[in-house]
Amino acid sequence: MAVARLVTKNNKLYQQIEDAALADEFEVIFEAASAAKRQDFVKMLTWLKKDSSTMAMTHDILKNRRLTRDQERSVMVLSAYCLGAMIRAGNALPYTFKALKVDRASVEYDDVDGYSASGDTSAMCTSNVDQAAGIARLQFLVNHVIETIVANSVSTKRDCYYILKNQFQKYPWMDLNGQGESDRLIDTLERITRLQRENLNIIADPKGLIYGDIAIIDEEGTEFSCGEREQSITGLAGQWEIKKYNVKAVVPIEKTGVFMDLKKLKVADELGIGLIHLGGQPARGCRALIKLLSEKGIPIGVLTDFSPWSGMIAKSVMSGSINAAHLSGLHASRAAFLGIESADVNTWLRDVWKSVQEPLSRNDLQRAQNNLSLPYMQDDYWRGENEWFIKHARKTELEALGTAAGSPLKKKEFYKSYLRAKLKQKLKVRV
């Protein structure tokens, strides 16, 4: 079959995309689009767009909106994929979307870079009916997110599930089988763009607080300070900008009690450090903000419980995680661990250890065992910690520090000395 082409005298970007599309090489399209300059892309779309099409909306976003580099790349990659699809479909050819593969077998770990995808891709091809159904939904989702961005709205995974369900339920073989299916589609969008879904305004629940002498410009350009009171970290924190700061370090804390105590006792103010409340396993916004702070050169010290799970929490802040291996910008590799460790049992917690210890549950022990095989826990420190858990089958939590202080009156001094010592020991920061 003869292949129809547009006449493309000058637009190099379009030629690249068209060539790659005709060869069904969507990886090449990804590279071209994510490397493209924004104004080149706008130029191409100006020439291609039709009135009231999603493509025209893409054009408007790229032309007029304030976007981070990651946001504009996400939008450009998706548009380029759609262009490729148009070229293929216009020639009655099947096409193959390529997305980064993220599983245990296809990620690599590096102590500095954390987890990263090895570059293996998985394919979805329209010549396979099941995969074509996936691509149809994906295409709908692309239109949906671009409209979301145009409207300056946000959506969540649940939003996407409902809207997909509403769209496809009436057709046989197209109904969604639970939210898991739409979640996987969003995941595919992330693996195609290789950027967080937050860049497409698909946000996670806001979780986490920040406190300290830090001034931030949010995704809409509004400036706010975190010095007067703690500020909530939204799902879009990755799009924020750190305007200025006056802290010597930032300490992300697992537990609410200790976070509030350090703030109320003015420990943070007097030591000149910032605080971040993680609230258990940190949300993506939280991790992204920590990364932004770290990039500014602020030392990060993670303060968590003393248990196999807390090790995971700390390490996800420090090294990223396997299922986010395709995303950069979610971990601060220079961060250090300030939490309770095995050595503290005989020092900071010596007097109270008997009363603050808890036995490990079966689940905890299993976690410790599994930790031994995790790539990011292979250094001597973490091996030692996990082996300690397996050997002693004991754990404790951050609240133990308050008990160790003796009385609420002595807490302030105790926290201060603890943080001073740990920051000095782990990060060489004097406060």
Partner 1 sequence: MAEKKRTTARDLAKQMKEISFSEFIATNPHLVGFESTVKMIPMSIHEILTNSLDACESAGILPEVWIDLKSLDDRGRLKRFRLTVRDNGPGIVPRNVPLVFGKLLYGSKFGVRKQSRGQQGIGVSAVVLISQIKTGEHAIVKTSTDGRTTHVFELSVDVDKNTARVHDTGKEKAGGWTGVEISVVLEAQYSARIMEYIELTAAINPHLSLHYDGLNEKDVLEIPRRTDVMPALPVETKPHPSGVDYDLLKRLASRTRYERIADFLKGEFDRVRMDTVKEVWGILKGRVDAKKRPAELDRDELSALADAMCAAKTPPPSPECLSPVGEQTLVQGVVSRLQPAFIEAVTRSPRAMRGQPFLVEVIIAYNCSADLAGVGESSIDPVTGVYVHRFVNRVPLLFSEAGDVTIKAARDAGLSRYEIAPETRSHLFVHVAGVNIPYTSESKEAIKYVDEYYEEIRLAIQECGRKIAKHIRSIKRSEEKAVMGKRKAIIHSLLLRELNRFAGEKVAGMEYAAAFGFDHVVPEILEQYHLDVFRAVQPPRRARESTAGSKKEKRQQPAPEPLRKPALAIAR
Query: Where do contacts with partner 1 occur on this chain (CB under 8 A)?
Result: 1-10, 19, 22-24, 43, 46-47, 49-56, 82, 85-86, 89-94, 126-127, 129, 132-133, 135-136, 139-140, 142-143, 168, 170-174
Nearer to partner 1, 54 or 231 (CB): 54
Distance CA 163, CA 78 (A): 19
> Tokens standing for 51?
């009135």
- The distance of closest approach from Cβ of residue 148 to partner 1 in the complex, given in angstroms and rounded to an integer, is 14
Nearer to partner 1, 176 or 247 (CB): 176
Nearer to partner 1, 52 or 152 (CB): 52
Nearer to partner 1, 67 or 83 (CB): 83
Cβ-based neighbour number of residue 45 at 10 Å: 23
DSSP state letter for 357? -
Cβ-based neighbour number of residue 169 at 10 Å: 11
Nearest to 267 by CA among 296, 303, 295: 303
Cβ-based neighbour number of residue 426 at 10 Å: 16
DSSP state letter for 174? T
Distance CA 297, CA 119 (A): 29
Nearer to partner 1, 109 or 168 (CB): 168
- The distance of closest approach from Cβ of residue 198 to partner 1 in the complex, given in angstroms and rounded to an integer, is 22
Nearer to partner 1, 147 or 295 (CB): 147
Stretch (H or E) spanning 69: helix 69-90
> Tokens standing for 15?
């030629």
Distance CA 295, CA 399 (A): 30
For the chain, the first-to-last Cα distance in angstroms comes to 72
